[in-house]
A and B are shown apart, each in its own frame.
Chain A
Amino acid sequence: MADHPGTGKSRLSLHRRGFLTAAATGATAAVVARGAEAQTSEATPAAGVNPRTPRPVTLSVNGQTHEIGLDARTSLLDALRDHLRLTGTKKGCDHGQCGACTVHIDGKRALSCMSFAVMAEGHEITTIEGLAAPAGDLHPMQQAFVDQDAFQCGYCTPGQIMSAVACVKEGHAENDDDIREFMSGNLCRCAAYPNIVAAVKQARDAIREG
């Protein structure tokens, strides 16, 4: 993609909650100022409520329910990593262009950087941490990535694996061309692509044999 890569702005969110409490008064002033700048009589349904105030959000992740307070701007990715400390899901671009942040929402692969966490309320989220069996046995796709040496630095790997599990489930792993097309949303800077295709095929067969 020739689009501009992420700017890493969301680093802030690590300390957002502490920062917000401290800056609450200033924030209200900023909202009023922006209202004036807009110069319309447009009534906003949120008038009077400070949108920066964290709101309670209930997220269901890997079968567990979490109640956290979040600024509505928090992406699902930042909520997982910075609030629930589930750092297996990676941030590559933060703009939907790399696939490192792939999770499953209601069983379908999706990009957690493009979703606001508040929008995920009421949906079942699965991350790479939720893939292995409770006893610790690796998912066949995880095992296949190890067996096929389907990574170098490993940064894209959690996203690749989440995407690959869905790719097999969708029936889009029938041949190499299909795998390449339907895995194209997961970029690998180390270019482990041939090994990734091999891993998807190994896991596909292992899953079928059950």
Chain B
Amino acid sequence: MHPFAYQRASSEQAAVEAGNPGPGVRRPPTEAAAQFVAGGTNMSDYMRLNVTRPDVLIDINELSPSAYGHIEADSAGLRIGALVRMAEAEDHPVIRSDYPVIHDTLKLAATRQIRNMASLGGNVLQRTRCEYFREASFPCNKRQPGSGCSALDGFNRRHAVLGVSDACIATYPGDFAQALIALDARVEIMGPQRRRTIAFSELHRQPGGTPNVETGLAPGELITGYVVPAGPHTRRSRYVKTRDRESYQFALASAAIALDLDGATVKDVRIALGGVATVPWRAHEAEQLLVGQPLDETLARRAADAAFAQARTREHNGYKVPIGKETLVRALLETQAMDV
């Protein structure tokens, strides 16, 4: 592991300043000299693998609990601080009852030990599990820009089929982000220059020609929290995750659904797909096909076909298209059948 200096940030201002690389330095936060750590469950792993090599590690766990550590719920929606732990949000009574898709994405992720440690800020920024990215001796455009992608013609069974480029096909591994993008969440960000709020769907970047740029965050920018608007669709919401084993495994394919029904007719629907795309993925084409129509299995299958129409497969991940479709069909029908 690369040697690093450890600092605890006592305030938001101090954290942002410590993370500020100064004027003129343009590189993604994951390549910056000073980087944040929250739960450390992603950071320590990639530091140990020599994939992430900060000179300075800024511990943000002592930032104001009122801004970073709480979940607030009212009729307008939720505000979830970035230092709230996965397990805390999973156990929250309002999230359980009124936003079940959020609860599901957390409960079905990692393990309780990890969920006790992992923050929701760190969670959405967790890095890909691509085997070649993790093993620092392989060429990888994300880890070492321009070195090539070992996965394109390598072992790419877990790799993405949507949002891929010729430079990178790494899967975005997280679950919680699928609930956030489905529910049109917003992200609050505090940076060296200013405070800003963006749509969650604008946070992550598809790999394109620069797979090392994973988000629109600049070094020194902190995620403060998420705002999830309330709506008639949030209660009838669900996450279905297909894995190699029943528990403690990343998604091969998953679907987050939020549904507002009038009888059998779809008034409003939000669909996000996990395990199959390079970023948290909203399936707008599938949504458009469903709105105004009576939902049954035939329609769900047409929506699934639309969701995967642009899929680009490689040697070992072709199975993700049928499995991804099946996961989406099941998720739609199970969400429809929910008792709310």
Contact = CB atoms under 8 A, between A and B. Distances in A.
Chains A and B form a bound pair = yes
Interface of A: 1-4, 9, 27, 31, 34, 38, 40-46, 49-52, 55, 71-73, 75, 94-96, 99, 102, 105, 108-111, 113-116, 118-119, 163, 166-167, 170, 172, 180-182, 184-185
Contacts of B129: 3
A42 B131 contact: no
Nearest to A109: B113
B265 to A, nearest CB: 35
Contacts, number: 132
Contact of B3 (A42, A51, A115, A163): A51
- Identify which of B22, B45, B111, B117 gathers the most chain A CB atoms within 10 Å of its CB: B111
B22 A41 contact: yes
B134 interface: yes
B7 interface: yes
Contacts of A163: 112-113
A123 to B, nearest CB: 10
Interface residues of B, number: 48
B113 A111 contact: yes
A45 B112 contact: no
A72 B111 contact: no
Interface of B: 1-7, 18, 21-22, 24-25, 27, 32-34, 37, 39-41, 44-45, 47-49, 55-57, 59, 61, 87, 110-114, 116-117, 129, 131, 134-135, 158, 244, 246-249
B116 A119 contact: no
A185 B56 contact: no
A185 B110 contact: yes
Nearest to B38: A119
Nearest to B110: A185
18 contacts: A9-B1, A34-B55, A43-B22, A46-B4, A95-B49, A96-B114, A99-B111, A102-B113, A108-B87, A110-B117, A111-B113, A111-B114, A114-B41, A114-B44, A115-B44, A119-B61, A180-B247, A184-B111
